[in-house]
Amino acid sequence: MSLGLLALVLLAGFMAGFVDAVVGGGGLIQLPALLLIPGLSPVQALATNKLGSIFGTATSAATYIRRVRPDLRTALPMAAVALIGSMLGASVATYLPKQVFMPIIIVVLLGVATFTALKPNLGLEHELRYTGRRHTLTALVLGFGLGAYDGLLGPGTGSFLVIGLVTMLGYDFLQASAKARLVNFATNLGALMIFIPHGAVIWGLGLALGAANMLGGYLGARLAIDRGARFVRLAFLIVSAALIVKLSWDTFIARSS
């Protein structure tokens, strides 16, 4: 790998950490950059992407915990079931035809982005839908489902977590993003627990990406905290649009080839 390509990959890692810290979706930037590396298999790219990403999510999660103080009574159990879901998803990923799921994901993401755009006040105020056991159960179902999705497919997990926490539980965008980083850390960890024993991680590259992700994650979290829920909402809509375009393009190319 040339120095120029390495610099490009590390820049992608920085930008991925930044975007992930604000609203999720950094894999759109980092994973395609890894796939440019000659001789790197798709599985190695996925595994190395997870290693780099976990440093960024850990950094942004720590920043959010320190400055936003999210409710850990919801976030930690949600992260625990997400880790289990991610391990299960990663375990069965090789057995399921991913091209079947992509059109469904695109339609769901388009619907979510449209719904958010048409409701300008959505996620700007903290109004919990439920309390007690119903709140906890909803959070656990959301965490497990999106954890399994992250292990199985992955694109847009952070964004889905944010909008799920906003629409299903009633958190504002900033609180939702804070909790999503904790859950996303757990999903990355769960997938790595499957990938590492299979020798799929390229450690030197992954650790370098991790350093870039940490810097991007710290700066992205600080910006989101300073600018508030309205900024995170706007970032969500932009990243969702990018996800829709990217996934639609990938699906079109896959069906054309």
What is d(CA 88, CA 14) in angstroms, rounded to the nearest whole number? 29
In the chain (257 residues long), the average pLDDT of successive 10-residue segments reads 89 92 84 86 86 95 93 94 92 66 74 82 82 94 94 80 93 93 94 89 95 96 92 87 81 70
pLDDT confidence of residue 137: 96
For 92-105, b where at least 16 C-beta lie within 10 A, e where not — what string? ebeeeebeeebeeb
Provide the token pair at 211: 């350093």
What is d(CA 140, CA 82) in angstroms, rounded to the nearest whole number? 8
Length of the chain: 257
What is d(CA 56, CA 213) in angstroms, rounded to the nearest whole number? 4
pTM to 2 decimals?
0.85
pLDDT confidence of residue 158: 86
Residue 202, SS3 per DSSP:
coil
pLDDT confidence of residue 151: 82
What is d(CA 20, CA 177) in angstroms, rounded to the nearest whole number? 9
Render 128-195 in DSSP notation, one character per residue: -S--HHHHHHHHHHHHHHHHHHHHHT-TTHHHHHHHHIIIII---HHHHHHHHHHHHHHHHHHHHHHH
| Residues 50 and 194: beta-carbon distance below 8 Å | no
What is d(CA 176, CA 186) in angstroms, rounded to the nearest whole number? 16
What is d(CA 160, CA 146) in angstroms, rounded to the nearest whole number? 8
